[in-house]
């Protein structure tokens, strides 16, 4: 039996196809989110990879900001529950999740069954999110996937203190014009994202294991900064960006079993 | 009275609200006095004096609910008011400016013409009580200074300890007497103490009818939907001293009792979850927030807000009346707030709660971060917080709200198991 999870976020679209609630036969990411061609392209990629089609899917669950735009979905479930479900599947010992996506950062507290007991999300503000990193990557002229590498060479963490993304951008520009090495500025940018995420994470009580999901978890610089700030070990979920879609596919499997 | 016969509570609400605004406009035209009052200041004194009452917070909420807030807010900001100031204040200060301009020039400014909220007359006197917040003090002072009219302040001390000490009650009672003196000077006539007793009695009857109607939300499933609670609140604010409030709330309570007796709930059998809402409504998004919760089967049955006007006191006792206005929930310490919210959750059998982190209302929002955690610890009831604003439409994101409340519903569902 095949089930599908679709996570249409603000920054990217993710599709996971699951066989018998256990094997990931496709886990595709397109870096365009809700309102773009991303969802369609992610679906096409998943179908191509698996050789399957919608007709093969017993159930489909959609999540993310664009969850109500998926016609084929049998059910919509919030990203909070989906990330919890996906993480519990990948890392059963997880008790705290930090998910940083394009526009949302969340900290989720799990109980032993892997269900959500409380969650905290960022304010209506782009500070501490993936978009913030995207803006910084542009002014620094360092691609997102190289930010971690720069960070690892930093000799000092330069302060980037403005909460406002626009002001932080001009802070970074002035650091650049003062000829501060990009490595050190990037470490500062990561520390700034980390401090926002940790503000949410602290409120969960920080029970271990602490696991990260979402696109930003692919940035080892942010992960290091979070770990440093919390003074705790932080595990990055395997393939962190598809965790929400994986959770959705697992819920779809539960739905299919219920229907039987 | 015949006009009112057979009217539903909703019809009465609309009828009385419109009548009050019209009476104030007509009265003003005839040279009668109009007072602008903060929403939980004592209304009893002006009622005795026959002064028409207008409540700027309430009026601003109505402007917001009818999607007229942004035009007023932008006008206020253009005149230099910071966007960090409470949006009720920004709306009202802009509105006052427009009324003044109209009075001076005889021409109705375009923004006033187009404002979808009810028309209100300019005031002759201002009354504020700082039992809600201290923003009010400066906002209303600003009105009084700009219009050069008397400003009556009732200063109530913050309640750190229970019971409310005698000296606090005496302090407030003395201010009541001074307010009476100020009104006597303004009106040029003595304060009628017999009428005062009658007005106090009316207030108590209105409050009892309000409690009776709002208490119906405790019935499981609830015949009352909490967003109606927000709507009916207009009359407990504006007409506590009038039969209008008592009449409407008793009609509402009768309707709800009949509905409950028939086993009906507010969602036609669709009440899946019962939740509480802490903080002011998002007026510009009232319908969005209502529909979003309804689509999840969440009936908002609990709110601390209606209780704020449940002001009981012994008629004829100035000190008790002072205490009544002092113990308003936002004028009390964190521990008491936690008690009040926990009681709301228990009495309404709510299994979830949403906290509105209201950008306008620092007093409620800043405390709620802490309050939420203590209430969760004490009751085990899960919560979500969302960013918003009672009337500034720029500070609320519908999609973020939807995600948060859906996750709350999922937690409540899982807690059922
Ligand atoms: N290869 C990469 N290396 C580093 N960071 C990356 C990489 N790919 C994506 N990101 C980061 O991940 C972010 C997107 O994360 P994700 O896909 O989880 O967001 P989303 O689910 O669409 O957003 P949201 O959940 O907030 O709606 C981007 O903004 C970017 O900062
Ligand atoms: S700050 Fe809050 S309590 Fe004060 S007037 Fe504004 S909304 Fe009301
Ligand atoms: Mg996401």
pLDDT (tens digit, 9 = 90+) per residue, B65-97? Answer: 999 999 999 999 999 999 999 999 999 999 999
Q: Quick one: closest CA in A to B404, which residue?
A: A78
Indicate the SS3 state at residue B354: strand
pLDDT at B1: 54
Give the tens place of pLDDT for each residue, B399-416: 999 999 999 999 999 998
Domains of chain B, start order: 9-195 (3.40.50.11890), 206-416 (3.40.50.11900)
Task: Check pocket membership of B368 for ligand 2, CB cut-off 6 A.
Answer: no
Q: Which residues of B are less than 8 Å from A123 in CB distance? A: 357, 387
Residue to probe by mutation, ligand 2, list B132, B362, B365, most atoms within 8 Å of CB: B132
Q: Which residues of B touch A79 (CB under 8 A)?
A: 403, 407
- Per-residue burial over A233-258, b = 16 or more CB atoms within 10 Å of its CB, e = otherwise: ebbbbebbbbbbbbbbbbbbbebbee
Q: What ipTM goes with this model?
A: 0.85
DSSP bridge partners of A63: A7
Rounded to whole angstroms, how far apart are CA atoms A112 and A101?
Answer: 25
Query: In this structure, are residues A197 and A105 in contact, taking their beta carbons and an 8 Å threshold?
Result: yes
Query: What is the dotted CATH code of the domain comprising A1-91+239-260?
Result: 3.30.420.40
**Can you list the residues of chain A whose pLDDT is less than 50?**
none
pLDDT per residue as tens, chain B (417 positions): 578 889 999 999 999 999 999 999 999 999 999 999 999 999 999 999 999 999 999 999 999 999 999 999 999 999 999 999 999 999 999 999 999 999 999 999 999 999 999 999 999 999 999 999 999 999 999 999 999 999 999 999 999 988 999 999 999 999 999 999 999 999 999 999 999 999 999 999 999 999 999 999 999 999 999 889 889 999 999 999 999 999 999 999 999 999 999 989 998 888 999 999 999 999 999 999 999 999 999 999 999 877 888 899 999 999 999 999 999 888 999 999 999 999 999 999 999 999 999 999 988 888 898 999 999 999 999 999 999 999 999 999 999 999 999 999 999 999 988
Is B416 exposed, middle or buried (CB count within 10 Å of its CB: 0-12, 13-18, 19+)?
exposed
Residue of chain A minimizing CA distance to B401: A124
> Residue B228 and residue B213: Cα distance in Å, rounded?
11
Same fold, A1-91+239-260 and A93-236: yes
For residue B330, the ligand 2 atom closest to its alpha carbon is: 3
Q: Tell me how far the alpha carbon of residue A19 lies from the centroid of ligand 3, in angstroms.
A: 23
pLDDT score for A210: 97
Q: How far does residue A200's CA lie from ligand 3's centre (Å)?
A: 16
Is the minimum distance from the CB of B133 to ligand 2 under 6 angstroms?
yes
CA of A244 relative to ligand 3 center, distance in Å: 7
Domain boundaries, chain A: 1-91+239-260, 93-236
Q: How far apart are CA B255 and CA B228, in angstroms?
A: 13
pLDDT of residue A161: 85
Q: In whole angstroms, what is the distance from residue B33 CA to residue B24 CA?
A: 9
- CATH number for the domain whose boundaries are A93-236: 3.30.420.40
**pTM of the complete model:** 0.91
Ligand nearest to the CA of A103: 1
- Measured CA to CA, the distance from residue A80 to residue B404 in angstroms comes to 8
What gap in Å lies between CA B235 and CA B249, rounded to an integer? 9
Q: Is B387 on the interface with A (CB under 8 A)?
A: yes
Instruction: Tell me the DSSP string of A45-75.
Output: HHHHHHT--GGGEEEEEEESTTGGG-TT-SE
Return d(Cα A128, Cα A123) in angstroms, integer.
10
Whether the ω angle into residue A156 lies within 30 degrees of 0, i.e. cis, is no
Q: Note whether B314 contacts A: Cβ–Cβ < 8 A.
A: no
The answer to whether residues A99 and A24 touch, using CB atoms and an 8 Å cutoff, is no
Which residue ranges have their beta carbon within 6 Å of ligand 1? Answer: A 9-12, 33, 64-65, 79, 101-104, 130-131, 133-134, 144-145, 214-216, 218-219, 241
CA distance B376 to chain A (A): 10
- In this complex, do A116 and B411 lie within 8 Å of one another by their Cβ atoms? yes
Sheet holding B352-358, edge to edge: B298-303, B273-278, B352-358, B383-388
């Amino acid at each position: 039996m095949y089930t599908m999870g679709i996570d249409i976020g603000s920054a990217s679209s993710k599709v996971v196809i699951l066989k018998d609630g256990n094997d990931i036969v496709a886990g595709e990411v397109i870096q365009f989110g809700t309102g773009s061609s991303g969802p369609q392209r992610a679906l096409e990629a998943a179908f191509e990879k698996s050789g399957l089609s919608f007709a093969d899917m017993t159930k489909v669950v959609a999540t993310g900001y664009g969850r109500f735009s998926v016609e084929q979905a049998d059910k919509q479930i919030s990203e909070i529950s989906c990330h919890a479900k996906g993480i519990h599947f990948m890392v059963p010992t997880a008790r705290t999740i930090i998910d940083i996506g394009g526009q949302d950062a969340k900290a989720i507290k799990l109980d032993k069954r892997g269900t959500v007991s409380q969650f905290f999300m960022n304010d209506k503000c782009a500070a501490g999110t993936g978009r913030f990193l995207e803006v910084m990557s542009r002014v620094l002229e360092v691609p997102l996937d190289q930010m971690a590498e720069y960070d690892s060479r930093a000799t000092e963490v330069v302060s980037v203190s403005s909460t406002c993304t626009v002001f932080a951008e001009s802070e970074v520009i002035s650091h650049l014009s003062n000829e501060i090495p990009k490595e050190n500025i990037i470490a500062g940018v990561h520390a700034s994202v980390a401090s926002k995420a940790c503000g949410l994470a602290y409120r969960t009580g920080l029970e271990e294991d602490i696991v990260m999901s979402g696109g930003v978890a692919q940035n080892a610089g942010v992960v290091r900064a979070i770990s440093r700030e919390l003074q705790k070990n932080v595990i990055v979920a395997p393939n962190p960006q598809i965790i929400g879609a994986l959770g959705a596919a697992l819920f779809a499997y539960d739905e299919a079993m219920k229907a039987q | 009275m015949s006009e009112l016969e057979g009217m539903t509570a909703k019809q009465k609400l609309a009828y009385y609200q419109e009548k009050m605004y019209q009476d104030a406009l007509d009265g003003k035209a005839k040279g009668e006095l109009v007072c602008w009052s903060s929403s939980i200041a004592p209304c009893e004194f002006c009622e005795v004096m026959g002064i028409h009452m207008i409540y700027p917070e309430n009026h601003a909420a109505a402007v917001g609910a009818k999607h007229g807030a942004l035009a007023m807010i932008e006008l206020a900001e253009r005149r230099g008011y910071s966007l960090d100031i409470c949006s009720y204040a920004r709306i009202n200060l802009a509105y006052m400016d427009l009324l003044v301009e109209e009075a001076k020039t005889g021409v109705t400014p375009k923004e006033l013409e187009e404002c979808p909220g009810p028309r209100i007359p300019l005031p002759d006197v201002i009354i504020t009580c700082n039992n809600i917040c201290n923003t009010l003090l400066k906002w209303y002072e600003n009105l009084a200074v700009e219009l050069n009219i008397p400003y009556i302040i009732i200063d109530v001390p913050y309640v750190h300890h229970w019971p409310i000490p005698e000296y606090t009650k005496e302090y407030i009672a003395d201010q009541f007497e001074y307010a009476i003196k100020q009104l006597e000077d303004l009106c040029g006539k003595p304060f009628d103490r017999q009428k005062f007793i009658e007005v106090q009695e009316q207030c108590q009857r209105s409050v009892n009818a309000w409690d009776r109607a709002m208490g119906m939300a405790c019935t499981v499933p609830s015949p009352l939907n909490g967003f109606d609670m927000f709507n009916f609140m207009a009359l407990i604010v504006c007409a506590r001293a009038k039969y209008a409030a008592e009449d409407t709330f008793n009609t509402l309570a009768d309707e709800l009792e009949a509905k409950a007796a028939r086993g009906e709930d507010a969602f036609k059998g669709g009440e899946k979850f019962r939740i509480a809402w802490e903080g002011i409504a998002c007026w510009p998004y009232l319908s969005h927030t209502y529909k979003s919760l309804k689509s999840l089967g969440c009936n908002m049955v609990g709110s601390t807000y209606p209780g704020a006007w449940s002001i009981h006191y012994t008629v004829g006792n100035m000190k008790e009346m002072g205490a009544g206005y002092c113990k308003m929930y936002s004028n009390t310490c964190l521990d008491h707030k936690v008690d009040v919210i926990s009681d709301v959750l228990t009495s309404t059998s709510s299994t979830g709660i949403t906290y509105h982190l209201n950008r306008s209302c620092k007093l409620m929002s800043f405390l709620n971060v802490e309050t939420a955690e203590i209430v969760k610890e004490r009751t085990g009831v899960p919560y979500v917080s969302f960013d918003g604003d009672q009337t500034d439409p720029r500070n609320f994101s519908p999609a973020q709200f939807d995600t948060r409340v859906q996750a709350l519903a999922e937690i409540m569902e899982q807690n059922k198991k």
